[in-house]
């Protein structure tokens, strides 16, 4: 938090976006995906005279669509559902995330508004479902490809 405070980024959306870009779990997931690709792809590209950058951009990157979609979905879900970090870095009521708003709404005026809180919680899940529906074919591809070993 002090890092974002020194940069003057508190009470903005940047402290919510920047930490979710790089995640150890997503890096490991990406590494495992590239490790399972067959070495014959690299060898064939080297025989054709391709350098390291050309191999990466012409061979490996086009195959990374499913894992990229999986990483986007996981990162989006983790960021969307995060409660503690936005509570620490955002004080402005206009910038509150959905979980923060739900928590403050459910205890408004000292009474619990159960039905309305449940309706808001149901509506707050819709963006996650929509993102999943659009990218589900990529998730299924990444899961299906993870069981295939090249050699």
pLDDT tens for 117-137 read 788 888 888 988 888 888 788
Contact in structure between 20 and 75 (CB atoms under 8 Å): yes
pLDDT score of 151 more than 50: no
Could you tell me the pTM of the whole model?
0.73
Per the listing, tokens 């979980």 go with: 99
């Amino acid at each position: 938090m002090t890092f974002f405070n020194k940069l003057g980024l508190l009470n903005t959306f940047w402290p919510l976006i920047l930490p979710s870009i790089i995640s150890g779990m997503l890096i490991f997931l990406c590494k495992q995906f590239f490790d399972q690709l067959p070495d014959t792809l690299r060898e064939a590209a080297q025989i054709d005279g391709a350098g390291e950058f050309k191999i990466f951009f012409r061979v490996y990157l086009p195959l990374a669509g499913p894992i990229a979609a999986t990483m986007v979905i996981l990162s989006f879900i983790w960021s969307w559902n995060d409660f503690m970090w936005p509570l620490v870095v955002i004080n402005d009521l206009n910038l509150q995330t959905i979980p923060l708003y739900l928590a403050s709404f459910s205890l408004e005026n000292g009474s619990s508004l159960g039905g309305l809180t449940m309706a808001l919680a149901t509506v707050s899940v819709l963006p996650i479902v929509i993102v999943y529906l659009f990218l589900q074919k990529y998730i299924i591809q990444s899961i299906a490809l993870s069981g295939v070993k090249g050699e």
